[in-house]
Structure 1
């Protein structure tokens, strides 16, 4: 009974956190009307990783509570992508991204081997998205347009998903992904906090 209660808390808290996870980042961008320090490559890779992950979960008919937040995260990432393209003056590229992501989503479930291969690469894709954001922060040394709160929430949701994966499915590929994402999300959070203008060390 205690384990069931903890599982429900983990599932619902993750879902709630993901419902608002990207809002702080969206608001920061809208206020700044600038994307300095925010990596477009990171967002595109993250979106690709989310699409692969949710497709894998649905293909193998995993319990919806283990992936229910991903359609919400995908929708928020799409909003972020459109904002970045808008502020960079590249809105025409949105058609290209839409075609690639929708076409890729359809191709993933054509055959079992395709979705399994995509999932084996998913951790690498998602890790690359975090590393791209870290590289962007290291290059600019400015995180004023990066929301540490969003990255902190992402760290929590990955921690919660480590527990739910162990209890509900035991899928090693999924578990490895969440462990790696927890470490990298925390790293981005810490880096964003370090490079906040108010937190910069005075010369």
Structure 2
């Protein structure tokens, strides 16, 4: 009777949160393990919760991860130091991940940041064109991209095409980041590249290695994030190396 009372008490306490927890953080088996058996050290369930928590955190962070970059561009009214080709390749990789995840019906917590990163990256691409005096080309870029996106997500596009696009993410990420790294090296500074955005992207891609393995079990997704983390790390190191060489820091010293 005493044991039943404890269980009833536990159930009555967690009942208001059960739906939320099962929807976003854990399967029912883990809910039972934690809140009925009170086994809070169950490793498989802990991995699930950590992965879900990281995934949700990454998604929430992605809503604003590139906002510092956008704000910096708009404030300076310049896109100096940013490579449009690099942005295009990054957009290709983000779009591939998003389409691949939707096609394979992966949980939103495993890829949701791609949606917000896509919107912000498209904005950055337009701003690069706009501040380069090519606003018309920037608008054309927006129209063409979103038309292609609708086509890609439609039933007309074969699954094999989406899978191939995801596989092409790796060279796209490598080439795109190398282009940006080369631009930074040639300029001797990182220009209007936002340090906050760079470091957030690096941290997010690192965390995604774990969450992609845990939530999707897809080695292609995990490998994509490993490569992304490596090359995001290179850009992050450049930001640190060229920190005092940025035009804005030079102005402050002067």
State the TM-score, normalized to the length of structure 1.
0.91
Deviates more, 1:110-119 or 1:97-106: 97-106
Distance 1:140 1:198 in 2: 10
- 1:38 equivalent in structure 2: 82
Structure 1 position 72 matched with structure 2 position 119 = no
- 1:52 equivalent in structure 2: 96
Report matched runs for 1:106-117 at 5 Å: 106-108=150-152, 110-117=157-164
The CA RMSD over aligned residues, in Å, is 1.8
State the TM-score, normalized to the length of structure 2.
0.74
100, 106, 109: which one pairs with 2:144?
100
Shift of 1:12: 1.8
Choose between structure 1 and 2 for higher RCO, CA contacts under 8 A separated by at least 6 residues: 1
Q: Please, which runs of 5 or more residues in structure 2 have no aligned partner?
A: 1-44, 250-254
Distance 2:151 2:171 in 1: 19
152, 172, 180: which one pairs with 1:125?
172
Q: What is the number of equivalent residue pairs in this alignment?
A: 200
SS at match of 2:184: helix
Shift of 1:106: 4.1
Distance 1:2 1:132 in 2: 40
- 2:19 equivalent in structure 1: none
Shift of 1:198: 5.5
11, 18, 24: which one pairs with 2:62?
18
Distance 1:83 1:102 in 2: 16
Structure 1 stretches of at least 4 aligned residues deviating more than 4 Å after TM superposition = none
Shift of 1:95: 3.6
